[in-house]
């Protein structure tokens, strides 16, 4: 039994004394204890070494006591498992030396055996669960198939993912085959994570907002829907689509337990667009954590009142930034724990 099940209760839509809180990217780059590990090990070594990944996962919990932990990993372990070379270059980000650009490239992509290729993630889950000792739930995650395709085709990060979109629009057959392979791999991966012990999963559609509403349905959401359908009976599924306010209505009918909201959509609009009956998660602007702690606390309380304390998980509208002072991150979490109606 999870001792603090506030997060899981909020995902079920139960009445809670206060909303739960965690932060996207809470395990990582703003913490001095993480930077000590980063100085010794490169990025994918940290992801692929269960002892390191589990330690990084629990660091913010020790410091701040969030209501959920999220496993330290990366969305790009999926293409790596699919025989697509992915590097993480310092001060640059993801780099794929041989991006997918043709049908022939797609044909070479495999749907792997998850235990063979990503068993280290399951080992990290087991170690993390031991460290958490059932105090709080553990979240597993994956990127959406569209977001993974963006990196696989573009070959790196981008402001507009023009090459990825061009691939989908000029070679739709190959694009859909690649999306299906990513989807099949992601479903197997998340199911393995559930078996290993995660208590909820989140699908990050970081680049969904790059697509028009029509293209979003075709190239992104129909694949996310497959993931929800495959997992929803086993575990709560959270879907976070950055810039995807236009899809909140469809997402709310998908069978997901909760929807992430970014900071460009007001709580009132998010409730309206999603129909008002699903748990929402978000949506504090990560840059606002640069405000003074007292102001952060006031704004967090205003945000909770705007969303309402029930069917709500307090979070950021995207991942925490590396330059956030640790006291400010603490003020964010404390504000939620201090909240009273």
Numbered residues of the known binding site for substrate: 25-29, 44, 74, 151, 206, 318
Look at residue 274 and give its three-state secondary structure. Answer: coil
d(CA 204, CA 282): 13
Look at residue 299 and give its three-state secondary structure. Answer: helix
Look at residue 96 and give its three-state secondary structure. Answer: coil
Per the annotation, binding residues are: 25-29, 44, 74, 151, 206, 318
Please state whether beta strands 93-95 and 87-89 pair in parallel, antiparallel, or not at all (unpaired).
antiparallel
d(CA 71, CA 75): 11
Look at residue 188 and give its three-state secondary structure. Answer: helix
Q: Return all residues near 201 (Cβ < 8 A) that are at least 6 apart.
A: 139, 140, 141, 142, 190, 193, 194, 231, 235, 236, 237, 238
d(CA 28, CA 44): 13
Q: Return all residues near 115 (Cβ < 8 A) that are at least 6 apart.
A: 122, 192
d(CA 19, CA 8): 11
Is the distance from CB of 258 to CB of 281 less than 8 angstroms? yes
φ, ψ of residue 175 to 5 degrees: the values are: -60, -45
Q: Return all residues near 77 (Cβ < 8 A) that are at least 6 apart.
A: 47, 48, 118, 121
d(CA 333, CA 66): 7
Q: Return all residues near 282 (Cβ < 8 A) that are at least 6 apart.
A: 260, 261, 262, 263, 270, 313, 315, 316, 317
Helix (H) or strand (E) holding 314: strand 312-316
């Amino acid at each position: 039994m999870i001792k603090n099940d506030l997060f899981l209760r909020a995902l079920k839509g139960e009445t809670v004394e206060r909303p739960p809180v965690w932060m996207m990217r809470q395990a990582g780059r703003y913490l001095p204890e993480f930077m000590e590990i980063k100085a010794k090990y490169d990025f994918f070594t940290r992801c692929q070494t269960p002892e390191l990944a589990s330690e990084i996962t629990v660091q913010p919990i020790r410091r701040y006591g969030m209501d959920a932990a999220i496993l330290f990993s990366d969305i790009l372990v999926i293409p790596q498992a699919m025989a697509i070379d992915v590097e993480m270059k310092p001060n640059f980000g993801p780099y794929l030396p041989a991006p997918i650009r043709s049908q022939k490239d797609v044909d070479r992509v495999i749907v792997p055996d998850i235990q063979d290729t990503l068993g280290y993630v399951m080992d990290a889950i087991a170690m993390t669960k031991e460290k958490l000792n059932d105090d709080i739930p553990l979240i597993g995650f994956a990127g959406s198939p569209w977001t993974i395709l963006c990196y696989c085709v573009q070959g790196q990060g981008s402001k507009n993912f023009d090459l990825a979109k061009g691939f989908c629009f000029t070679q739709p057959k190959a694009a859909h085959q690649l999306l299906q392979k990513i989807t099949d791999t992601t479903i197997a991966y998340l199911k393995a994570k559930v078996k290993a012990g995660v208590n909820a999963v989140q699908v990050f559609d970081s680049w969904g907002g790059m697509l028009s509403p029509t293209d979003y349905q075709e190239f992104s959401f129909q694949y996310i829907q497959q993931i929800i359908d495959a997992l929803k009976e086993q575990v709560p599924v959270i879907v976070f689509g950055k810039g995807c306010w236009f899809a909140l209505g469809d997402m709310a009918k998908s069978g997901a337990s909760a929807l992430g909201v970014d900071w460009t959509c007001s709580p009132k609009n998010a409730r309206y667009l999603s129909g008002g009956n699903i748990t929402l998660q978000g949506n504090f602007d990560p840059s606002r954590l640069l405000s003074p702690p007292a102001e952060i606390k006031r704004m967090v309380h205003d945000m909770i009142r705007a969303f309402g304390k029930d069917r709500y998980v307090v979070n950021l509208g995207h991942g925490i930034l590396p330059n956030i002072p640790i006291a400010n991150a603490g003020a964010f979490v404390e504000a939620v724990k201090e909240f009273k109606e």
